[in-house]
Amino acid sequence: MKLKETYISFTDEGRYAYFIIMNEKGAFKDVDELVNLASHFPRVVIKGDEPFNEKDDIAKLIKKITKLNPKVIFEIYTDGTIQPVKVTNYKNILYNIKLKTKKSNVAYDKRIIQKNISWFSEVSSRFIFDIKDEDDLDEANMIIRDTTIRKFQVFLRFVGHPTEDELKKLIQQATDNGYNFLINWKEIFWPEVGKDE
């Protein structure tokens, strides 16, 4: 697998985890080596470049770690453009879907793939929308309205270091629309650490 880095830290909800950060131009790391490093952790988070570009290796990693540690939970951050393979029946995977917005300059039909969104919305998934301004919220509302994403699966997350007023506004937007919200606590408490999350 091609990785940027691995490290031990806490998730957005403060859960202790082993992090695997994917990078298509990164250094190669053998799946078995990652299994040895990550198998004793209660949670393994996979994020970075699209993990399912290496879907076969991701499947091997999940199967091998789960065999050694049946109680492990995987959190996989994906843009939702590729469905996983060979692990679709595993119940210990939480998919965090961060759909690309128009600001990514990727064509709508290349970033919002209905069949994939439908599949992810049927399994244990959260759809995370990074919100910086009203345009972001409008686009999130449009995507939710036009797809099978259910409101309880939606998490709004402020981009950057929010002021108290911006945080209150985000919470109000989530409340008004029946969504959830996330806070990037790393960005708030340690901006130099959380900037790439």
The CATH number for 49's domain is 3.20.20.70
CA 96/CA 124 separation, integer angstroms:
9
- Is residue 8 in a domain? yes
pLDDT for residue 14:
84
User: Is residue 45 assigned to a domain?
Assistant: yes
92, part of any domain = yes
Identify each DSSP E strand in 79-139 by its residue range. Answer: 93-97, 125-131
Residue 36 belongs to a domain: yes
User: What burial class does residue 178 get, using C-beta atoms within 10 Å of its C-beta: 0-12 exposed, 13-18 middle, 19+ buried?
Assistant: exposed
Q: How many residues would you count in the chain?
A: 197
CB 116 within 8 A of CB 81: yes
110: Cβ contacts below 8 Å, ≥ 6 apart: 81
Q: What is the pLDDT of residue 192?
A: 59
CA-CA-CA-CA dihedral for 162, 164, 170, 173, to nearest 10: -160
Residue 29 forms part of a structural domain = yes
Residue 87 to residues 47, 114, 139, 150, 175, Cα–Cα distance (Å): 17, 20, 31, 23, 34
Q: Are strands 16-22 and 43-48 parallel, antiparallel or unpaired?
A: parallel
Confidence (pLDDT) at 19: 97
What pLDDT is attached to residue 166? Answer: 87
Q: What is the block-wise mean pLDDT of the chain (197 residues), using blocks of 10 residues?
A: 95 91 95 97 97 96 98 97 93 95 91 95 92 91 95 91 87 94 75 51
3-state secondary structure of 88: coil
For 136-172, the pLDDT digits (tens) are 999 999 999 999 999 999 999 988 778 889 889 999 9
**What total of structural domains would you count in the chain?**
1
Q: Identify the domain containing residue 18 by its residue range.
A: 1-97
What pLDDT sits at residue 188?
A: 67
pLDDT of residue 161: 78
Does the residue 186 lie in any domain?
Answer: no
DSSP lists the bridge partners of residue 27 as 3
* Residues 117, 61: Cα–Cα separation, whole Å: 24
What the block records as the tokens of 131 is 């919100």
CA distances, 157 to each of 42, 68, 151 (Å) = 25, 34, 14
Q: Which residues contact 124 (CB under 8 A, 6 or more apart)?
A: 91, 93, 94, 95
